Structure 1
């Protein structure tokens, strides 16, 4: 049976923290691949998305292109609307019955996992994999496999703020992502 990690998120923008987390899970669990799955409209985020879904998908493609085991899963972007993990994972499990999916989440999502839509059903169809994140508890009573990874105190919000203030993001974003952001004038860049 093929083992595939799913890493969902807004990726607004994708950064080295996402890549390190995915890489650690990939190697620790000996997965066949990791699919990065940008969501259309996240139900758990309160901030407004400042890049379009197409731009976030493109940035994610740029971020992962150096790793042959990292792929794009565009299902939520293609479907549009609010992206509920239960609906998406159900579709993936149905369309790929020969795959064991591992849903990778960070400490902030672990802390709020109990609030997710249809979570009691979701944990029965996918194996959750939690990775710690600075400033979060990273604890849940729901079924969770944990993977240790270097803790990087970095967020997309922090990067958007730095970009809008004209500060450096060197080494925090893949160079191709920063180039795309500046070319598109995202996050207040010119």
Structure 2
């Protein structure tokens, strides 16, 4: 019988401020397999939420297999026009969900920056759901617990790669602006031409 993970993305706190102008526009992305990023799911973007964000949204990852998926990979990013900037990431051990009453775990998990330093937290309720219960309303009234989260080298490399792509996008945008300014200056006759006699 196929199963799915129902993730209630509740909120994140004390996020690193990665926005150069204004406040973070954060969203959370969830993956079961780092090699299969096309099957990731994400929350909505919360514009100008800053360092503390509330989503209270349900994200469903289908085809969950406890024998193959030992971790839930979580990435929090700042939505940008050219390339989304990484804020924090973590890997959540799913044994704590499978061992919890009703296979539902409400926890607060540390987020890490690309150097592996703890930077903020994310609060989630994660529930394993059989396919025949997929439409059922799922509740977890348990108190929030400190969840087990850790980093893997593969996830850290992925996160650093996302950050490099975002930085390259910023450099390309800056080069385009500077190139456009030089072209405008030349078009308006403000170039460094030698005077003609």
More helix per residue:
1
**Rg comparison, structure with higher value:** 2
More strand per residue:
2
